[in-house]
């Protein structure tokens, strides 16, 4: 059975090359059948593509490595730049490595798998310097913290589902497309995770209710012993949801929850334990005690447990909190930063908009016996406005927003942050914009560092400590 007609736009047949597929698809400008050209890749850009030049144009080339000499065919041409596709590698870069992934040529997941890891770190340092160049004057710029390990590190993956024939495709999206790659294994996950994913994938291909799915998230606890699933239904209802929960139980997953794709808070069915756990040990973070945090399968957590510990430890070291200080933690999630900070200071006010993450934060504070955290549920901008209107003042404001940044909340921070702001960002363009706003509000960057939470991709977590300009 195909999706209902009213939802067909979201699940339509993938467009063939050159077909129009709505606003998301790039429509190449006619290139006139021009012959391929030779270029040499100079660097890597935000977004993951290599950068070369030809006849005064910047050329962006996916899956290329600095130092590659390539024969490239233009797929899109504009006045000042072009997109290119590799026809052949004339001379491979000394930094090029064998991707060892049969999906690399078309998967949108790992843009830099063909570049050696040191090249990736160097590229990310350059991206950081270039993106934040207007904010680095007088700031201490520290080297990017490399990932350990750079492969097999993810504990969480969202796999898209697309009905085809009598079965389904399950995997990641193709590059710059909503076509689903029928993925059976991924180098970003270790062998144990891949084995469990393959068991689930095999069962879903024969499960009629899987045809109602939009995606499924597979999350594993840090101990590696428990897995929780989050099924998102594109259409269908309780009958399909119950069938998926029974399937998860038959495969001995520890828990599963089924929601609509449009609202993860709308539960249709659940079974078992629908969250995973991870530790933040005092010896690793600098907190005054250990924490065991739960994370709902529907929520967000950093996908690299080991690097997350380093990031939390870095934040606490930079802040060097004293027992009499108060902290405001915006976009607080389940307490990843707020709980360790609370062990070192007088009070933390933690603000989180997601009802799922907020519930995790409440439970994590309760289970850890942390009494000096006040968890507020609500939009960060609105809660900041209310706190500022009430005359609240904090020694430190910490914010870890989503990729879109924190633009709407920033105007209130000038009234809330007495001394310092710690901004943690996964988007350099959004961070550049928000640092410029904070500068107009009287804050300057004191220390900047990148953390490679996402090896094999262009993504970078960046932490910036700002102080009030005297």
Report the run of H or E that residue 412 belongs to, with start and end.
helix 410-416
Find out whether 435 and 132 touch, Cβ atoms under 8 Å: yes
**What is the CA angle 287-292-293, rounded to 5?**
105
Coil/strand/helix, residue 435 = helix
* Residue 110 falls in the annotated catalytic set: no
- E strand residue ranges, 359-442: 373-377, 394-399, 417-425
Per-residue exposure over 279-314, b if at least 16 CB sit within 10 Å of its own CB, e if not = ebeeeebbbeeebebbbbbbbbbbbbbebbbbbbbb
Q: Of 204, 221, 132, 124, which Cα lies nearest the Cα of 168?
A: 204
Q: Of 154, 165, 279, which Cα lies nearest the Cα of 218?
A: 154
d(CA 262, CA 273): 22
Of 107, 110, 345, 426, catalytic: 426
Per-residue exposure over 163-173, b if at least 16 CB sit within 10 Å of its own CB, e if not = beeeebbbbbe
d(CA 126, CA 141): 12
As given in the structure block, the two tokens for residue 402 are 């989503």
| Residues sharing a CB contact under 8 Å with residue 335, sequence separation 6 or more, in sequence order | 291, 293, 350, 360, 361, 364, 365, 373, 375
Find out whether 84 and 72 touch, Cβ atoms under 8 Å: yes
Q: Which residues are catalytically annotated?
A: 426
């Amino acid at each position: 059975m195909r999706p209902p007609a009213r939802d067909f736009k979201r699940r339509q047949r993938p467009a063939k090359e050159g077909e129009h597929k709505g606003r998301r698809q790039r429509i190449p400008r006619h290139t006139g059948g021009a012959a391929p050209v030779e270029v040499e890749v100079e660097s890597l850009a935000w977004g993951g593509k290599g950068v070369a030049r030809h006849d005064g144009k910047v050329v962006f080339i996916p899956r290329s490595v600095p130092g590659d000499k390539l024969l490239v065919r233009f797929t899109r041409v504009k006045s000042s730049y072009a997109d290119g596709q590799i026809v052949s590698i004339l001379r491979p870069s000394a930094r090029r490595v064998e991707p060892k992934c049969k999906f690399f040529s078309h998967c949108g997941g790992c843009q830099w798998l063909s570049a050696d890891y040191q090249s990736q770190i160097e590229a990310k340092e350059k991206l950081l310097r270039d993106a934040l160049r207007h904010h680095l004057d007088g700031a201490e710029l520290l080297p990017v913290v490399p990932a350990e390990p750079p492969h097999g590190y993810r504990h969480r993956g969202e796999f898209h589902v697309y009905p085809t024939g009598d079965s389904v495709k399950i995997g990641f999206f193709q590059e710059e497309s909503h076509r689903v790659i029928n993925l059976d294994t991924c180098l970003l996950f270790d062998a144990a995770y891949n084995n469990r994913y393959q068991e689930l994938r095999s069962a879903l291909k024969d499960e009629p209710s899987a045809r109602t799915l939009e995606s499924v998230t597979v999350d594993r606890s840090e101990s590696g012993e428990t897995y929780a699933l989050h099924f998102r239904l594109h259409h269908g209802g309780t009958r399909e949801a119950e069938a998926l929960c029974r399937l998860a139980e038959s495969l001995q997953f520890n828990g599963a929850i089924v929601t609509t794709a449009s609202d993860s808070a709308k539960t249709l069915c659940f079974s078992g334990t629908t969250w995973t756990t991870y530790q933040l040990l005092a010896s690793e973070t600098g907190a005054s005690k250990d924490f065991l945090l739960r994370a709902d399968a529907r929520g967000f957590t950093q996908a690299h447990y080991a690097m997350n510990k380093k990031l939390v430890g870095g934040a606490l070291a930079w802040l060097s909190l004293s027992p009499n200080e108060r902290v405001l933690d915006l976009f607080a999630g389940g307490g990843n930063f707020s709980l360790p900070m609370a062990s070192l200071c007088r009070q933390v006010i933690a603000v989180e908009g997601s009802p799922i993450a907020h519930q995790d934060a409440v439970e994590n504070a309760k289970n850890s016996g942390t009494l000096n955290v006040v968890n507020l549920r609500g939009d960060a901008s609105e809660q900041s406005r209310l706190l500022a209107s009430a005359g609240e003042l904090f020694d430190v404001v910490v914010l870890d927003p989503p990729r879109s940044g924190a633009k709407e909340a920033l105007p209130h921070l000038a009234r809330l942050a007495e001394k310092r702001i710690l901004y943690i960002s996964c988007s350099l363009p959004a961070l550049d914009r928000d640092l410029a706003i904070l500068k107009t509000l009287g804050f300057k960057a004191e220390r900047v560092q990148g953390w490679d939470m996402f090896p094999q991709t262009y993504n970078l977590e960046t932490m910036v400590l700002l102080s009030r300009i005297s």
